[in-house]
Structure formats: C-alpha cells, structure tokens
Structure 1
Amino acid sequence: MEYRFSYLMDPSNYRTDGLCDGIAVRNHRNAAVGDLGIIRLHKEWGEYIGPPPTSASCGGLGPQYGFTSVALPECLPERLEIVSYAIEFAFIHDDMVDPPGETDAKSSSGGKLMQSRMVQQMMVMDPKTTTSLMRCWAKYLKYGGGNRQRTNFEDFEDYVEHRIMDCGSWFLTGLALFTMGLVVQEEEEEICHKLTRPVWGAASLTNDLQSWDKEYKIAQAHDNHELRNAIGWLIKQHSISTETAKQRCCQKIKAFVAEFVQTLEYNKVRQDISQPVRTFVEAVQYMLSGNLIWGWQCPRYNPDCEPNQLQLATMKALGYPFSSPPQLLHRLNDPCVVLRRDLPTLRKAFIDGPSHYIDSQSSKGIRGKTIDAISFWLQVPGQDLAVIKNICRLLHGASLMLDDIEDSSNLRRGQVSIHTVFGCAQTINSAGYRVNEALKEVSKLDSPECTRIFHEIIEEMENLYIGQSYDLFWTFSLTCPSMEEYMKMVDYKTAGLFRMVSRLMQAMSTSKTKPDLTNLMTLLGRYFQIRDDYLNITSIDYTQQKGFCEDLDEGKYSLMLIHTMQTQPEKNILLRNILAQRRKKGKVSDAHKRIVLEQLKQSGSMDFTLVALRKLQAEIGKEAKLVAQDRGIKSPLESLLGVLEV
C-alpha cells in the first residue's frame, strides 16, 4: 500500500520491550487533529452526560503519541478528528461499564444523542464504510463484546479468546475500514477480522499488561478481588508472582506478533482476497505496534503522565473539561510560572500541520522526475540529490499553500485546500517556515559554490514573488496583460524554481563538464504553466480535482484568455464584465463559464494555445538534444516529455 499520510518513526524514540518485533511504527502527519477530536468528545460528554469517570482523565491522548495517530496512521486526514472522537467515546464507555454500575436517564439519553450525531457525521463522509462499521459494531455486541460479568475461564487460552472479542476487535475492524475508505463486501468483513486475530490477541494482552499496576491499585482501594486482567488471572490460577505472570503474558504477546508477521508476508503475494482486504491487513499491523508504544506513555494507564503543552493549551482554550491530576491543577494555578526558565520546548505540531497536509496530497511527482532526468546529465551524488529534492519539495509546497490563499482556491489535487482546514493565518505562517527550512537545507550541501548559489536562490525567490505580484495585480485590477508581459511573469513565477534547482545541481555535479541549463529550465517552466492553464479549462481530470474551469473562478488571465481579448477586441466587453461579476460574487457561475469557453473556441484561442504548447515541447526537445550531444548521452527528458504531452 502507498503511505501518504504518515511517516516512519525512529526506533530509538520509542519503547517496545521486544513486543512488536518485525513491525514498524508510523505516526500520522496531522496528529494534532486527532487530539482535537478527543478534546471535543470530553467537552460534549460533559454537556450531554456529565463528568466522565476519573480513570478517563486523558483517554486516547499521549504526551508523545496519541492512540489514533500511531494505531491508525493512514487515516484519511479529513476523518482523523471524528475517528479519534469515536475511539475516545469507546474508551470512556469502557471505563463506565468496568466496573459495572447503574446508568441514569441523562447518561443514557445523552450517550445515544452523541452516538447518533457521530454516526450521522460519518454517514455524510462515507455512507458505504459507515454502514460496514455499523455491521461490525452489531457483531461486537452479538459476540459478547463489553461483557464484564464473566470471571470464570477454563484456562488461559479461554481467557484470551474472551479478550479478543471483548477488547472491541469487531468495532476496530469496522473503524479501520472507515478510516481509509476501504469498501469491502459483508462477507469480507469476516475475513478481515479472522486474518487479523493475532493483532487483537496481542493488543488486548498488551492492554492488560500495561494497565495492570493501575488496575491493581484501584482494586486494592475498593477491596475488589475479581480483576478482569490477564496478569491477575494468571496469578490467581497458577499461584505465581506478578513478575512471572507478566513474563507469561509477554510470551503470548510475542507469539501473536510472530504469527501476524507471517500473515503479513503471505499477504504480499496472495491473490485469493481482494485488494481492499489486503490493504486492510497491512494497515492493521500498526494497530499492534501503535497500541504498544502509546500504552507505555499514556495517562490512561500511567496516572502520573501529563498531557503535553500543546494539548494543555488546547484543553484550556476549550474550557478544559478533563479530570485533572492534583499536581496538574496546582501547576495551572501557580503564578510563579512567569519566573520559570526551565520551560518546555514548544513542539512544531501547529506549524507543521499545514505542511504535512500538503505533503500528504497525491502528486504526479513531475518535478522530482525532472530532477532525476537532469541528474543523469550532471551526475549528482545521491545524498546531495536527496537534499536538492527536499529543497524543491519545501519551496514548491510553500508556493502552493500561498497560491491557494491568494487565488481563493478551495480545492487542491482533489482535496480541500489547506487554508480551508487550518485557516489563512496558520497556512501563511507555515509556508514561511517551509521557506526557512529550505534555506537551512542549502547549508547541508558541501560545495565551494554554495555561497554563490545561496544568493542566486534568494534572487530566484525574489523573482517568484515579483511574478506573483503581477499575476495578482492583473486579477485584482481586471487588467489584461500583453502576451509578452504574461510570458515574463511565467519566467519569474514558475520557471524560477526549475532554474534554482538546476543551479544547485550544477554546483554539486561530479561531471567534468557542466552544461548551461538556464534556457532549458525556462522553457520547461513556460511549458508547465501554459499546459496547466490549458488543462484547467479543457481536462475532465482537472475538473474532478479542482472544479469546473477553476482558473475563471480565480480571475486569472491565461494565455488563451489573453489571446482572445487581444485578437478579438469586440469580445473584451463581454469577458471583462463576466470577470467583474466574479469579483463581486467570488466565483463565476457554470453558465457564465460556458459562455467564456464558447468565446475561447470561436476565437481559436484553444487551438492557438495547443499549437504554442507543441512548439514549446519541440523546442525543449531540441534544446535537450543539444545538451545530450555535447555530452554524448541520450536525452533523459524524452520519456518525461512524452508523459507531459497534451
């Protein structure tokens, strides 16, 4: 499966105790969004039901890793908050029925209302996978899930089988399908649950292991000798010490993990199950490893652990509905905090959130392929090439983040634009931070020419902003530029990044001869921009990803529009008035867009633009062949140009 929304974590940063050998740990790029779902759940629980039990002080939060972000790291970003909300609901519900007690009318009606609203929200997002989740929830209840009354078991295996059903495995099966939008047939839900049985066995015993100390203290305080926990059962059944019981529990966990590692290997090659089921099986491995590392540091099992500063700030901003440990309440009411110097470092979750979101969106990777092609000529070492690609990624992403705000674009690559999720201010701040990170990356390139290249990068970045300023001015003032002005704007705004990257690669090249690629990069920039504008108007794929003729909503002057307005002056009044209406209403109606399209066709501007693109492509190919001939190497851009051909 393709990992779009998460990153691999460094094993030196988390504890496993050998309980997930062979399974990596991933973390969601938008982990802070998951925390919001947990905090919102507690706030609404207090409003509709009442104070949650003390044991639910922080639920699925963790000062380092939240449960949802590491257990379901490939959750679709727009579903992360509601998924965390649902899991937190399950956590508190679990705490309220263990030990069992009476439920008052407010709790019952409030809980049903919250569940109903939660399901409705999920249905709006994805009715198919929500229906699947509801079926899985019904199976959880049918097979005895949540049954806290049973305390007698024939042996340890009988207890484990009970825990696999009792731990919410069916609910989590349905939820995992929902998180990734995986649509399976009803009979395939059984297959999903069966194939991942070792995950639920390991996870449930891991929970027993990590919660034992807390549960034992609570049981002692209430003189309760019927602990429903694997450690307690082993101690009582076999008259063994706590340490020995924990060791046996760990052995069983390791056996489950080893079994599932084999399942994962077979899953890579088997063809007798559908692709969604195979994707599910691969994804659920992180439920095993994520649950483990979350449990070692979560306040749910470790009462002395506290939420991190980011979580505390969010709680406070929303009214702080959590049950708080005494030491935490003391800190929140201590005015001496203004004198402290040993303050914790601020995490980068807020500033990285918009960046992670843009990086997680699918991309054809054309710029990366261009860099690979040029490297074929310049022979840039792999380590330096990776740094240059990262610089390109950071700057291009920052440009897109700002573009969408400046153009009032609500869609990017078929998903909602970043500023509609994080807000304009945070997105602008994050984009600026990306530029700073890109400049820091330059320092990793060890070359005597890099000081000069650094200044050239600054120059190209200046060009980018100047070019964008013209684009914005023309849009705001309804001023149609000349074709020459438009092309120069493209050279500044779009081609600058290509030239910047080629200069960095030349500086790091190990080749004896280094061709001048300035003209070639400028032509590529022109081709990319004009091609993008052309497809925005004519391509069905672009319509699905960004909306119907979105450039018209933004009020942009493309080569097609400029050609029509310059060669057919009589159409100026019609087109200018449509663009003027756009500025008043914020968009162009579909009916008006069809009028513009008809004018573009009648004036021959679409054909003109297509011919211009083919001329550009031919010139790029010619320029590339000249460079290739000088080096005696075939042009590496030929295949790339074939992919880009309109």
Structure 2
Amino acid sequence: MFNKPSDAISEDAYRGLEPSSSPFFPPLSPYKSSSPIPDEFLKGYYSRIEPRFNSMIHAEESAAIRASETEWIARGGCTFRGGAFSPAGSIISITLPECIHKKASVLLVSSSSAFIEDDIIDGELFVNFHESSTKFIDEDSPEYKAQRSFYRVIIDQIRARQYVDLLNQDGDGNAYVQSLEDWHNRSWEVLDLESQNKQNKSLEEYLDSRLATLGSNLYLMLVPFCFGFQLTPQEYELLEPLNSLVYKLCNITNDLESAVCDWIAHASYDKPDIPGNCVYIIMRDRDVSLGEARDILLEMFRVVELEAYELCQKLLESPPSANVKVYLENILLVPAGVVAFGINSSRYKANPEHPLYPPLQAKLKGLPRVANTKHALNSVIELYSETSKDSTRGVNRDISAWSVAAMPQKNPKPWLSEYPQLTEQVVMEPCEYIASMPSKKVRKAMIRALDSWYLVPHDSMEIITNIIDLLHTSSLIIDDIENNSPLRRGRPAAHMAFGMPQSVNAANYLFVKCLEEVQKLSPAAIHVYTEELRNLHIGQGTDLHWTFHGSCPSEAEYIRMIDGKTGGLFRMACRLMKADATKNHNLDANRLFTVMGRFFQIRDDYQNLTFATYSTAKGELSDLDEGKYSFMLIRALNNGSNTFDSKLKNLLQLRSRQGYLTPEQKILAMRCMTRSKSMEYTFTVIKELEAEVERILESLESSVGEHNWTIRAIMARLRTADPKMAYISQ
C-alpha cells in the first residue's frame, strides 16, 4: 500500500518531479559504450539508475528518425506531436545505451513509427495539445473512422517495410520482430481501459491487466536482439519476474509523464469516467488531487525500482550464464531511459493555456471538460466509496440501476410467463477460449495488407475482418475434433475443455453469426461467402476421406485440397474486400492468395515434422498421430523406394489400429521420409512457392504502382531456414 505524502508537489515541479537527493544505485557492471546524460537534461529525473545515452549512435539518430517521419508525411500522414527524439537523445539511445551499434541503427528507423501508431490507436493523433480553444472530437463519426483507418493503412505499410529491412539486414531479428508484431496486435485489440475503470479496478489490478493484455515479452526479445544473443526457455522463465517489474516501471513512468495529455485527449473526446492512467485511478480511489496522486505514484515507482534492482543483484550472485548476465546488467537501463525520455520529450508537453489542461490542485470533480458535456464525474467518487465498503467491489448496489428484465421474478407458473431470449454467452465460451490463445495473426495482417490496395470503407472493413476471424475460430474447433487432436497452440483443444457436443454447437453457431455479418454488405458478398464456405468444407472433407480410408493422394490432388481448405479464407477476404473497394477495383489478387495458401499449408506440414517449438505447441509430430497425409508423407509414399514405402505403409496401418504412433515408431517414420529425400524435396517446394509469391506480388505491385510492404513483411517472417535435423540422423 502506498500512502499519500503529507505535502503535494509544487506547481513548478508539474512537468518533472523534483530530482532525488539520494545518489544513484551503484552500477551493476562497468559501462562500455555509453556516456552519462548531461545534468541540463535531468531536471525532474526521479529514477535511482544513472541515465546514459549511446554515444556511438548519437550523431546519426536524428537523421534516421526524421527519415521515418518524412515517409509518414509523404504517404499522406498528418503532423504529429513529439516522436522518438528528445533533447536528451532518442528513445533507443537512452533506453539501450550499451546496445551494439549495428543493432541500434536498425531500431532507430522504426522507433518513430511506433509512437505514431500509438497515437493512432488511442486517438491522440487527432488532438491538438497546444491550441487555446476547446474542440470536441466525435470518434463515432464516419469521417473520423475513415481517417483513422486510412492512417492505420499508412503506418502498417511503413512498419512492414521496416520489418523487411530489419530481417534482411539482421538474421537474428525474427524473434524480436514476432514479439514486436504481437505487441502491436495486442495494442489494437486490448480491452478498452476506460471500461475497466468503470468496473473500479484498483491500481494493482489495472497494472496487472496491462501486463496480461500487452505483456512484457517485448523486453525479453529486445535486449537479446540488441546484444546479439538468444535466451533459452529456462532463462526466459528465470527472468520473467524481473521483466514484469521492469514493465511495471515503464507503465508507471508513461502514466506519470502523460497524465496531462491523457486528460486533454480524454476530455476532447468527451469520454465518461476517467482515462486509463494510474494517476486518475489513484485520484478516484483516494479522493486526492492530481498533484497528490502523482506523489503517490512516484513513491510506488521508487519501491518497485528498488525491488527490481535488488532482484538483479540476487540473480547476478547466482552466478548466471553469460547471456543472462548481459541481460541483468542492461535491463534496468530501459526504465531509467524511459524516465529521461519522458521528462525531456515534447511528446508529453501541452500548452498550459489549453482550456482542458488539468490543474495540479484539482480533484476529479474539478477537472475541465468540453462545454455542455454529456458525461459528468459527479458520481464517480461516491460510487467508488460505496462499493469499496463491502467485499463485492465493483457491484452497483443501487436498485434503480437494475433493469426489470434482469431482476429475478417470483412466478408460481413460469410456463405461462413471457421471457426474453437466451443470450449467446454460454454458446460462445468455447469460441472465446480459442480466440484468446496466442496466434501469429497472419489472416488479420493479410486483410490489412489488402486494405492498402483496396482502401475498403471502415465499417465494411470491420465486418469482413470479423467474418474471417469467426470462420477461422470455427475451423480450429472443428479441425481439432475431426483430427482427434488434444492440443491447440499448447493448450487443451476446445473439445477437451468444454466437451465435444458444446464445441460442435459453438463452431456451427459461428456460421450463423457470419451470415448475419455478411448480409450487412451486399448480395454479391453473400454469394462469395457461400461459394468459399463450400470450398472450405469440400477441401476439409476430402482430407478427412483420405485419412479415414488410408488412401494416399497424389501431389496434385493434395494441392487441390489445399486450394479449397487453406486458400478459401484468404480468397474470401480478398473477394469481399474487392467488392467494396474504393480504389483499384479491377485488381485481382486471388492467384496471389491461392499460392500463399499452398505455401502456408506445406510450410505448416514441414514445421510439424521438423521444428521443436511447433511440435511442442501442437503435440510431438501430431500429423503422424492424426494419420494426416502431409506433403512429405505423400512424396515418400509415392516416390520412395520399395523398402521405405513398405515400412511407412506398415506404420500407417499400425496407427490406424492403435489410434497413435509410439515415439519409436514416429522416429522410424521420420527416418524413412528423410532417407527417401522427401524432406529435402518439400523444402525445395516451399522455396519455389516463396519465389512464385514474390513473382505474383511484384506483378501486382507494378500494376498498383507501389510496394505492399505488409505482405512482404509476412513472407520475410515466415521465410523457412533449412534446419539441421540432428535428432533424425542420430
């Protein structure tokens, strides 16, 4: 528990909290390539870690960042508040001061686009923090939605190009790019934090929810990337508690520094309740002023930072591996750099004359709002005070807030009564369970990539994205049942958690929801939906037929099955978007996505039998247990020698009788496929498909007149390396 200090901070300290009189903590290791940030940039610095900057990239960082910002403007973006540069240095230079020069240079280019995207996500891109008049922003207006969608298309393309450049320049970047992409996806999909505050989440609950929704794995990938090493799964697990503390420190700092701008943006949109920010949660919970709330949060920062520092010391005494040692010596420089950046960046400054600028001495009721606001805060403190008195926090005990339909009614003859229809809550539970699992989000990325060509209206874009999401979720539930697969992405499959009847019903219900959605588009869209849904079921049924009857297809038959089963969702999205396009109406990308569907499926087959992480997620060599005819197995059976062909057929017969293969039988099957050269053959096919995707993509880009960097980034991330399958050759 963090108690309110007796004296609130002064108005002069509003932009930066008073410098700590205590000395810095002793460094965890000698510094090598960084220099201390000059005192002139440390007014208001409150971390106990000495702030430093990377002197090796200091000269080039300004030009690199401005190049990214110039690209944003050139593509049609608007002016924006402070980006990744501050007088003290760039966000990369001062959070990763000891970073390898080559790695830091790669990251500099992408840092500004990350800030721009953050402003698009939370809507602050549309707020002028330096004006002297109040302007209400209607986020429900078609104009706002269209502009926001357009800006997202631009930033998606910029970020994707930067990913491609990073992956081409640095072979170690794949894990970092994947974690960064996951972070971006979660940022767009995260639950609205204001709605969480309405449920009266405490400060700790709010910070925990940020950790759960946005996660801290970005740092676990970022630091190793910057120093050119990889952590083992055991090392990730060891560092996770420390990483959570670091992420909490960064969140606290962000909320301290952005409190003013967060309120101005919140009030400009005339939103109810409070912004998703620690400062305003403290104000609400404790009925304190803005200045007092910042004091409380500052004290929390210092306690968490001390805990993180002591944990680093403890882990360094272990002693750790060489890579973990480097991680521990540098990770606390990240939140220290965030503090130094926050107190210097123009990004967190607003005009004190702005009519929505929150006074330091004001409590929640006294904070300024747009004139004639429809949202008042008069009841916030009273509601919180009331609900906090008993154990059922967050429950509105005012009976007038209940609807008549929601209240239980005593009726001796319920069979004669009228009731509202049942909700879909129970039916949707298996679907929501599957949708919550970690995912590469490839289909959503593909839809955004297409939008850069077609520029679909915002409402139609949301409908199409929802249709593809729902169908994909339905297909995963059904696929696991039909393949008798117990795992989905490392967790129990839906039918293993909710039972088979409930899971089948839920998957079928999603078809109804999709039909409701597609009817909002056009009659042509309904035709596209039914045609591609037909292709999906025929493709899946053909695959099941081969497995059930033990009938090995030819390579051509297998490709036709993929075109219906895997390529169907991609083509559906493409055709639906083309029908609603506002530009490039005649651009036909069906062939591209058909070939990409083949690439994804055969790559998936290959990964299932070659990559440990994928096998762990789905179950060790699950395709062999499921009896599926993967591309490698088809090649081995149709083109292998009689000896290998006979052994594989015998193993498949045993699998059909046993329902599975033992680990020893799987190893024998893998040896047969390896010696028949089917693995090398499949790898060659994957590379040919990559080349064909590149050829078709270049042709489409040529007709449009610009690169589609999002598709290129997806292909770069999925590029398959030729693995040395040591365990097979043993």
**Range class of TM-score, shorter chain:** 0.5 to 0.7
Partner in structure 1 of residue 287 of structure 2: 251
Question: Partners of 2:610 and 2:543 in 1: how far apart?
Answer: 21
Report if the CA contact (8 A) 1:553-1:586 is conserved.
yes
Change in 2 beyond 3 A, CA 1:485/1:590: same
Question: Partners of 1:364 and 1:5 in 2: how far apart?
Answer: 14
Question: Partners of 2:196 and 2:429 in 1: how far apart?
Answer: 21
Question: Partners of 1:24 and 1:511 in 2: how far apart?
Answer: 47
Report if the CA contact (8 A) 1:6-1:74 is conserved.
no
Change in 2 beyond 3 A, CA 1:256/1:380: same
Change in 2 beyond 3 A, CA 1:396/1:526: same
Partner in structure 2 of residue 336 of structure 1: 413
Question: Partners of 1:578 and 1:429 in 2: how far apart?
Answer: 35
Residue from 631, 645, 667 that aligns with 1:559 = 631
Report if the CA contact (8 A) 1:359-1:397 is conserved.
yes
Report if the CA contact (8 A) 1:351-1:426 is conserved.
yes
Question: Partners of 2:597 and 2:625 in 1: how far apart?
Answer: 23
SS class of match (2:444): helix
Spell out the pairing of 1:120-269 with structure 2 (5 A cutoff). 184=241, 251=287
Partner in structure 1 of residue 619 of structure 2: 547
Change in 2 beyond 3 A, CA 1:378/1:587: same
Deviation string, structure 1 residues 181-209 (Cα, Å, up to 9, x no partner): 99548xx89x99xx9xxxxxxxxxxxxxx
Question: Partners of 1:269 and 1:489 in 2: how far apart?
Answer: 56
Change in 2 beyond 3 A, CA 1:459/1:25: farther
Matched, 1:364 2:547: no
Change in 2 beyond 3 A, CA 1:259/1:544: farther
SS class of match (1:476): helix
Partner in structure 2 of residue 494 of structure 1: 566
Deviation at 1:381, TM superposition (A): 3.5
Residue from 365, 375, 386 that aligns with 2:462 = 386
Deviation at 1:386, TM superposition (A): 3.1
Return the letter of the residue paired with 1:340. S
Report if the CA contact (8 A) 1:378-1:514 is conserved.
no
Identical-pair percentage: 32
Question: Partners of 1:602 and 1:5 in 2: how far apart?
Answer: 47
Report if the CA contact (8 A) 1:549-1:593 is conserved.
yes
Matched, 1:419 2:495: yes
Report if the CA contact (8 A) 1:20-1:254 is conserved.
no
Report if the CA contact (8 A) 2:488-2:617 is conserved.
yes
Report if the CA contact (8 A) 1:543-1:549 is conserved.
yes
Residue from 699, 703, 719 that aligns with 1:645 = 719
Return 5+ residue gaps in structure 1 as ranges. 27-69, 77-127, 129-179, 196-247, 279-287, 313-326
SS class of match (2:571): helix
Change in 2 beyond 3 A, CA 1:383/1:181: farther
Report if the CA contact (8 A) 1:483-1:563 is conserved.
yes
Change in 2 beyond 3 A, CA 1:297/1:381: farther
Return the letter of the residue paired with 1:566. N
Spell out the pairing of 1:231-630 with structure 2 (5 A cutoff). 251=287, 331=410, 335-341=412-418, 343-445=419-521, 450-568=522-640, 570=642, 571-630=644-703
Change in 2 beyond 3 A, CA 1:622/1:271: farther
Report if the CA contact (8 A) 1:490-1:525 is conserved.
yes
Report if the CA contact (8 A) 1:520-1:620 is conserved.
yes
Return the letter of the residue paired with 2:482. E
Report if the CA contact (8 A) 1:628-1:635 is conserved.
yes
Question: Partners of 2:502 and 2:385 in 1: how far apart?
Answer: 33
Report if the CA contact (8 A) 1:358-1:397 is conserved.
yes
Question: Partners of 2:307 and 2:391 in 1: how far apart?
Answer: 39
Deviation string, structure 1 residues 310-362 (Cα, Å, up to 9, x no partner): xx9xxxxxxxxxxxxxx98x94xx64111111x25423321121121111111
Partner in structure 1 of residue 357 of structure 2: none
Report if the CA contact (8 A) 1:553-1:588 is conserved.
yes
Change in 2 beyond 3 A, CA 1:392/1:337: same
**Alpha-carbon RMSD:** 4.9
Deviation at 1:528, TM superposition (A): 0.7
Runs of 4+ that moved beyond 4 A: 1-7, 9-16, 23-26, 70-76, 180-183, 252-278, 288-305
Deviation string, structure 1 residues 425-478 (Cα, Å, up to 9, x no partner): 111111122222222222344xxxx31121121111011111111111111111
Change in 2 beyond 3 A, CA 1:577/1:10: same
In proportion to residue count, which structure has more helix? 1
Report if the CA contact (8 A) 2:555-2:631 is conserved.
yes
Report if the CA contact (8 A) 1:71-1:291 is conserved.
no
Question: Partners of 2:296 and 2:508 in 1: how far apart?
Answer: 44
Change in 2 beyond 3 A, CA 1:260/1:502: farther
Question: Partners of 1:532 and 1:266 in 2: how far apart?
Answer: 47
Question: Partners of 2:396 and 2:573 in 1: how far apart?
Answer: 49
Deviation at 1:516, TM superposition (A): 1.4
Deviation at 1:391, TM superposition (A): 1.7
Return the letter of the residue paired with 2:716. G
Question: Partners of 1:598 and 1:535 in 2: how far apart?
Answer: 16
Question: Partners of 2:621 and 2:560 in 1: how far apart?
Answer: 24
Partner in structure 2 of residue 62 of structure 1: none
Partner in structure 2 of residue 8 of structure 1: 191
Return the letter of the residue paired with 2:461. L
- For structure 1, which segment, 470-479 or 250-259, has the greater mean C-alpha deviation from structure 2 after superposition? 250-259
Change in 2 beyond 3 A, CA 1:596/1:12: closer
Question: Partners of 2:211 and 2:285 in 1: how far apart?
Answer: 29
Deviation string, structure 1 residues 506-529 (Cα, Å, up to 9, x no partner): 112111442111211111111111
Report if the CA contact (8 A) 2:285-2:384 is conserved.
no
Deviation string, structure 1 residues 21-69 (Cα, Å, up to 9, x no partner): 9x8998xxxxxxxxxxxxxxxxxxxxxxxxxxxxxxxxxxxxxxxxxxx
Report if the CA contact (8 A) 2:387-2:397 is conserved.
no
Return 5+ residue gaps in structure 2 as ranges. 1-181, 214-233, 253-283, 313-330, 336-380, 721-730
Deviation at 1:289, TM superposition (A): 14
Change in 2 beyond 3 A, CA 1:511/1:72: closer
Deviation at 1:393, TM superposition (A): 1.1
Q: Tell me the TM-score normalised to structure 2 length.
A: 0.48
Partner in structure 2 of residue 55 of structure 1: none
SS class of match (2:287): helix
Question: Partners of 2:285 and 2:496 in 1: how far apart?
Answer: 47
Give the number of aligned pairs. 411
Q: Tell me the TM-score normalised to structure 1 length.
A: 0.54
SS class of match (1:8): coil
